[in-house]
Amino acid sequence: MQEYKRIDISKAEIVPIAERMRKQNVYLVMIHAFVNKEGLLDVSWDYAVDPGVESYHVVGETTLPSIGEIYDAAATWPERELNELFGIEFEGLDTTQRLFLPEDLLETQGRGQIMVTPLAELVEKNKKEAGQ
Amino acid sequence: MSYIVPIGPYHPALEEPVHAKLYTEGELIKDAEVFVGYNHRGIEKLATERNAIQTLVLVERVCGICSHSHAFTYAMCVEAINGTEVPKRGQYIRVITAELERLHSHFLWLGIACHIIGHDSMFMHIWDERELVMDILEKMTGNRVNYAMVTIGGARRDIDDDLRREILDACVKLKAPLDRITEIALTDKTIAMRTKGVGVLPTADAIRLGAVGPHARASGVNIDVRRDAPYSCYDEFEFDVPVVDSCDVFARVVVRALECYESIKIIQQALENLPEGPINLGTKLPKIKEGQAVCRHEAPRGQLSHMVVGNGGLTNHRVSVHVPSFKNTPTVPFMLRNNTVADAGLIIASIDPCFSCLDR
């Protein structure tokens, strides 16, 4: 079984950790996010420290530094994705073009709608909007 | 003269939704942009409404080529959260299916690459041989696309002695055509002229941009999750990781052809040493304990990662799927630069992209 190690960090540690990992040629597996039980955003930077994954978590922040200058597109694509799905702002990240979601969805429903709102509530909201 | 040449949002050869914008000076591509997201299906969101068994069915439909890889990786995540030990025989069957999937995927790509190059007889030859692998997969699983071989805690279908012998025979049968295909790929003038020095991604750029899988290995990056972070029973098999450092489309052809031999080696070892015992832990619907896991699998196109968050109930709190094309697509604009417009289709295809997979 692959080892998975969760390490909680502060927002200020994100960039220094990314720089250290880059120096050691460690692959950035992915940047993930979810809304935890308390309703706070839990964002993780998962690095392939073989044979396991070291997962650095920041909880409760909606604006975070971008590590795009360190990991290039390997970081900016996940950051753009999280910006669209969760509305997380990454400082310095170019978000002028959409990555995944259709532009009309971003404009009309607001960022983060898809991942944060339960499906049942979305269906109800759409019904109301359609006047049913 | 400067032109902006649009390709897509429908790849001319791959029948996949991607849009590329080429900024050209005459025939030469000076810069490029790639746009994805034309097939976003909200699969991650749908997964939060489903239990673990339903999610296996769902994630298999992320991709029509590496469907088993998704079910395999998702199951590993749930098993890691729950602390489930998968029976050895179940692990072996998962690996056999994964390597058969790699074989059919690589044969598919090699065929398509030849089709784009204009070598259609080679395309037909490769796809003809691919049918042998597809037939075996169908016999093993009952399906040719979504195999449904994985369940939480093991495999869903056993491999009996007759089938075991049949797959071993198929591996032997596959060797001669694979030798022929590899020989042609390495020596054919048409393939060499269309692929050598085309779409170069230097090693440093491959590392910087986070390229994975055969695409990275064709740029001299020696990575493979099966060897570097062994999972399931991969550490019990001997296999090599082919790495080529010419960094061009030709290298991507060579790496994938050579990887087919390694997959056959793994399948043969697994079948010859198939352990006795149960293939799974039963059919009880599992709860997903409170916790989080990230698991990686070397899918045919490279590192596939799933993240699952459980909240102690039957459904997932969060499932996040990131396919190899998510890592490899950002390398495309770099590879396109200083190549001709005529090679753009081949260069985009050379990462073996799956854009529907990427969009989820």
| Predicted local confidence at residue A9, as pLDDT | 94
Q: What would the pLDDT profile of A43-98 be if each residue is shown by its tens digit?
A: 999 998 988 889 999 998 888 999 999 999 899 999 988 888 888 889 988 877 77
- Rg from Cα positions in chain A: 17
Identify the burial level of B63 via C-beta atoms within 10 angstroms of its C-beta, where 0-12 means exposed, 13-18 middle and 19 or more buried. buried
Q: What would the pLDDT profile of A7-24 be if each residue is shown by its tens digit?
A: 999 999 999 999 999 999
Q: What would the pLDDT profile of B298-310 be if each residue is shown by its tens digit?
A: 999 999 999 999 8
pLDDT band at A127 (very low <50, low <70, confident <90, very high): confident
Domain that holds residue A89: 4-129
Which 63-102 residues of chain A touch chain B by CB within 8 A? 71-74, 76-78, 97-102
Out of A51, A71, A98, the one facing B230 most closely (by C-beta) is A51
CA torsion sign for B224, B215, B358, B354 is negative
**Could you give the angle at which helices B120-141 and B161-187 cross, rounded to 10 degrees?**
160
Which pair of tokens denotes residue B236? Answer: 């019990």
Of all residues in chain B, the percent with pLDDT exceeding 90 is 58
Beta carbons within 8 Å of A39's beta carbon, 6+ residues apart: none
How distant is the Cα of B75 from the closest Cα of chain A, in angstroms? 12
Residue B26, Ramachandran bin (φ over 0: left; ψ between -120 and 50: alpha; else beta): left
- Give the CA-trace dihedral at B157, B160, B162, B166, to 10 degrees: 50
Complex prediction ipTM: 0.86
Q: What would the pLDDT profile of B217-252 be if each residue is shown by its tens digit?
A: 999 999 999 999 999 999 999 999 999 999 999 999
In total, the C-beta contacts within 8 angstroms joining chain A to chain B are: 102
pLDDT band at B286 (very low <50, low <70, confident <90, very high): confident
Contacts of B223 in chain A (CB under 8 A): 27
Half-sphere exposure of residue B1: CA atoms within 13 angstroms, side-chain side: 5
- Which residue stretches of chain B are H helix? 43-47, 52-60, 67-82, 88-117, 120-141, 161-187, 189-195, 203-209, 213-217, 225-228, 249-272, 324-328, 332-336, 344-349, 355-359
For chain A, say whether B223 makes contact (Cβ under 8 Å). yes
Tell which residue, B357, B360, B336, has the closest CA to residue B347: B336
For chain B, say whether A26 makes contact (Cβ under 8 Å). no
Q: What would the pLDDT profile of B154-212 be if each residue is shown by its tens digit?
A: 999 999 999 999 999 999 999 999 999 999 988 988 888 888 889 999 998 898 888 99
Mean pLDDT (chain B) is 90
CATH superfamily of the B2-359 domain: Cytochrome-c3 Hydrogenase, chain B (1.10.645.10)
For chain B, say whether A56 makes contact (Cβ under 8 Å). no
- Other CB atoms within a 10 A radius of the CB of residue B238 amount to 8
Q: For residues A11 and A64, is the Cβ–Cβ distance under 8 A?
A: yes
Tell which residue, B218, B224, B213, has the closest CA to residue B246: B218
Residue B72, Ramachandran bin (φ over 0: left; ψ between -120 and 50: alpha; else beta): alpha
Residue B242, Ramachandran bin (φ over 0: left; ψ between -120 and 50: alpha; else beta): beta
Number of domains forming the structure of chain A:
1
Q: Cβ separation of A29 and B309 shorter than 8 Å?
A: no
Helices (H) and strands (E) in chain A, counts: 6, 6
- Rg from Cα positions in chain B: 20
Domain boundaries, chain B: 2-359
